[in-house]
Structure 1
Amino acid sequence: MEEEDSKIPRILEQDGHGGSDLKEVSESKKKKKKYWMGCLRAESDERGNIDLTVDFPGERSEPTHLLVMVNGLIGSAQNWRFAAKQMLKKYPQDLLVHCDKRNHSTQTFDGVDVMGGRLAEEVRSVIKRHPSLQKISFVGHSLGGLIARYAVACLYEQESRQELPQNSDDISDTCLKERIGGLEPVFFITSATPHLGSRGHKQVPLFSGSYTLERLATRMSWCLGKTGKHLFLADGDDGKPPLLLRMVSDRRNLKFISALRCFKRRIAYANTSFDHLVGWSTSSIRRRSELPKLQRGPVNEKYPHIVNVEAPSTSSNHEEVRSVTNSNGSKNFDMEEEMIRELTKMSWERIDVSFRGTVQRFLAHNTIQASVH
């Protein structure tokens, strides 16, 4: 992908049509070809997983960059129909888009670990089918961002570079190359993802900041299966820390942080308002005291929904915040603080989005998925 460092993390206006869905794309192989910067080509394996590429008349391009798109709770690959089309339109020659197929509908209740393992297996099968692939990126919406974080830990590898002669003074090539599924990691992008879980105060705007409703939701998290317990940090009954807390450090078999850190860029899109399911703080990996004051109007006329852009940065250690929290006896915030501290030891680009003043604001949580690319 040419100039890939600057082109992917942008937000597009919806064209009002939502793009052709994946089923229509697949059926295009049987019907007359539709040319649009070339022709969309859909391939599926025995499990129904769909890979999308672009073919040009008279030639068959071999994709080099795999983009994995992961849906959220009760979602499906169909949710990515518009974004996938726009991605392929932008990078028609070297991009292969794969939309997660195995984690959909009620299967999204199976737990972040189970779904992450399934996604990792799915990605391996895609890579095996396309030996020309060299790079890999992930885009996850909502819960899909957490699934992707788990999957990349499963796919994380270290490759030893070729050893130098013993008399060589150059030790630079003795380092390890980090790979995700054997490919070079480039982008890790999330939109409206509850990186800090949904248990903390005001992390689910639907509850309007009511401690009573937040506690009740935690107790009722089992209604969403194992996934609900993971999101509300209610899965620590076996003596282990909650899964999301474990996912902010390298474990014996799963290098969660090393895998995330090896991506060239990490970008977190977050709704500043009107997202009733995922709060601004948890989706942007910030403390509430760190949420920026927004200026009036967009920061980019071409992308009017972007209201704030923060360059890659790491966070300082907020021990003062943590000590004040302890005095109030808030265990939930302690876990939240730990996740923030560990996740922000690596740099993140933050792009804050607002659909205020548009009809789209009422579905902000889903709108950001259809618009991000």
Structure 2
Amino acid sequence: MEKKNNKYWMGCLRAESDKSGNVDFPGQLAEPTHLVVMVNGLIGSAQDWRFAAKQMLNKYPHDLVVHCSKRNHSTQTFGGVDVMGERLAEEVRSVIKRYSNLQKISFVGHSLGGLIARYAIGRLYEQESREELSQNSNDIGDKCTIEEPKERIAGLEPVYFITSATPHLGSRGHKQVPLFSGSHTLERLATRMSWCLGKTGKHIFLADNDDGKPPLLLRMVSDFRDLKFISALRCFKRRIAYANTSFDYLVGWSTSSIRGYNELPKLQRGPVNEKYPHIVNVEAPVTARNHEEDRSGNNSNGFKNFDMEEEMIRELTKLSWERVDVSFRGTLQRFMAHNTIQVKTKMINSAGADVIQHMIDNFEP
């Protein structure tokens, strides 16, 4: 017989843990229907999302279970986006087994956590075949036109895919790491030294070349063999990217908002809504932008002679994204913007509480 979950309290939150130590924050109902998976970033932990998990359950206490991923923490985050994505996929499957009434699934990732989640959903993607639909239709005597195949993530309906300060385009050159102040010398040096962050460093600096394959982040903007990265991302009802416009020294505005530098908007003075004082721009989802498909610079290796950043933007923006631009300018916490946007630690990152509230107010379970 499987060991029963342990129930306990973490501050004001009721928590449940299984025998593997995974931590969930379930709502008030015994059978929640919507699973929200929160994924931490580099050298992070499940505790990083504790504030957001609490606020989300306060707003929607009846049908959510918020799972703060625990499988990739501390130095385990050096293991590579692919390795961590596989761990997360396995973890999500184990959580789903514990809640029999789940119907929907959403992901919220901070920084590297957004990339880990993008890999994991590629592994968890499922599509019911037309043959299965036809058979099911015949079984019930349905003579109507067969509906389109249903797409699922681990058997559940995908709803929200939300990232916060995630380096979607990687961190290689193009001022994607503001800490380097646009210095090409420092950017090149960082790429060469990416091995200091293990396999993860090579991935985010696009410095991996396993068996002659394109860098992992480049592969993750399309379906690659049995990993349906872009199909999985496409099947979510909404995709939302929160991005710091300044003072995030680790992840630049362009890479976290999936824009080229010439596409970054001019910001108005002050917030777009007084309720959210640090949100300075909100873009509704738009259709795919027009990109020229000329890839004449490609050679037999396919990925060496063209701009990898432009390729990632081209493919990712074939999907519609809602973009939320954040600025902590004028606050002392602006110098910790990378963690403040998540409210990693309430005592020192509290300025980001309105960003979390915005995310929750625009979340419909």
Using the size of structure 1 for normalisation, the TM-score is 0.84
CA, structure 1 residues 320+342, in 2 after alignment: closer, same or farther (shift >3 Å)?
Answer: closer
- Partner of 1:101 in structure 2? 70
Distance 1:84 1:76 in 2: 13
Deviation, 1:316, is: 2.3
Unmatched segments (≥5 aa) in structure 1: 1-24, 325-329
Q: Which amino acid aligns with 2:231?
A: S
Given that 1:199 and 1:332 are in contact with CA atoms closer than 8 Å, whether structure 2 keeps it comes out as no
Note the alpha carbon deviations across 1:29-72, whole angstroms, 9 max, x for none. 8xxxx8x7xxx4311112110011133xxxx5311000000000
- Partner of 2:59 in structure 1? 90
Distance 1:235 1:137 in 2: 29
Q: Which amino acid aligns with 2:31?
A: E
After TM superposition, the structure 1 = structure 2 runs for residues 153-168 of structure 1, keeping only pairs within 5 Å, are 153-159=122-128, 160-161=132-133, 163-165=136-138
User: Is 1:299 aligned with 2:272?
Assistant: yes
Given that 1:111 and 1:225 are in contact with CA atoms closer than 8 Å, whether structure 2 keeps it comes out as yes
Distance 1:42 1:332 in 2: 50
Deviation, 1:363, is: 0.5
- Partner of 2:98 in structure 1? 129
Note the alpha carbon deviations across 1:301-340, whole angstroms, 9 max, x for none. 101111000010134233399899xxxxx96971000000
Distance 1:364 1:356 in 2: 9
- 2:217 paired residue among 244, 260, 264: 244
Unmatched segments (≥5 aa) in structure 2: 1-5, 298-302, 344-352, 360-365
CA, structure 1 residues 333+83, in 2 after alignment: closer, same or farther (shift >3 Å)?
Answer: farther
Distance 1:332 1:144 in 2: 29
Q: Which amino acid aligns with 2:70?
A: K
Deviation, 1:227, is: 0.1
Distance 2:295 2:125 in 1: 32
Given that 1:61 and 1:93 are in contact with CA atoms closer than 8 Å, whether structure 2 keeps it comes out as no
Deviation, 1:165, is: 4.8
Distance 2:144 2:225 in 1: 31
User: Is 1:196 aligned with 2:169?
Assistant: yes
- Partner of 2:107 in structure 1? 138
Given that 2:207 and 2:215 are in contact with CA atoms closer than 8 Å, whether structure 1 keeps it comes out as yes
After TM superposition, the structure 1 = structure 2 runs for residues 264-279 of structure 1, keeping only pairs within 5 Å, are 264-279=237-252
Q: Which amino acid aligns with 1:205?
A: P
Given that 1:200 and 1:333 are in contact with CA atoms closer than 8 Å, whether structure 2 keeps it comes out as no
Deviation, 1:169, is: 6.7
Given that 1:200 and 1:336 are in contact with CA atoms closer than 8 Å, whether structure 2 keeps it comes out as no
User: Is 1:75 aligned with 2:44?
Assistant: yes
CA, structure 1 residues 157+359, in 2 after alignment: closer, same or farther (shift >3 Å)?
Answer: same
Distance 1:301 1:322 in 2: 45
Partner SS state of residue 283, structure 2: strand
User: Is 1:355 aligned with 2:336?
Assistant: no
Distance 1:168 1:46 in 2: 45
Q: Which amino acid aligns with 1:78?
A: Q
Distance 1:341 1:362 in 2: 31
Distance 1:88 1:206 in 2: 35
After TM superposition, the structure 1 = structure 2 runs for residues 1-373 of structure 1, keeping only pairs within 5 Å, are 27-28=8-9, 40-55=13-28, 60-159=29-128, 160-161=132-133, 163-165=136-138, 170-173=144-147, 175-319=148-292, 334-370=307-343, 371=353, 372=356, 373=359
Given that 1:322 and 1:337 are in contact with CA atoms closer than 8 Å, whether structure 2 keeps it comes out as no
CA, structure 1 residues 344+357, in 2 after alignment: closer, same or farther (shift >3 Å)?
Answer: same
Deviation, 1:236, is: 1.2
Distance 2:210 2:122 in 1: 23
Given that 2:137 and 2:143 are in contact with CA atoms closer than 8 Å, whether structure 1 keeps it comes out as no
Distance 1:215 1:84 in 2: 38
Q: Which amino acid aligns with 1:136?
A: I
- Partner of 1:22 in structure 2? none
- Partner of 1:6 in structure 2? none
* Paired-residue identity, %: 79
Please say which of residues 201-210 and 312-321 is displaced more in the overlay. 312-321
Distance 1:170 1:90 in 2: 41
Deviation, 1:361, is: 0.6
Partner SS state of residue 362, structure 1: helix
Given that 2:104 and 2:158 are in contact with CA atoms closer than 8 Å, whether structure 1 keeps it comes out as yes
Note the alpha carbon deviations across 1:103-160, whole angstroms, 9 max, x for none. 0000000000000000000000000010111100000000000000000111101124
Partner SS state of residue 270, structure 1: strand
Given that 2:286 and 2:321 are in contact with CA atoms closer than 8 Å, whether structure 1 keeps it comes out as yes
Deviation, 1:220, is: 0.1
Deviation, 1:170, is: 3.6
Distance 1:256 1:282 in 2: 18
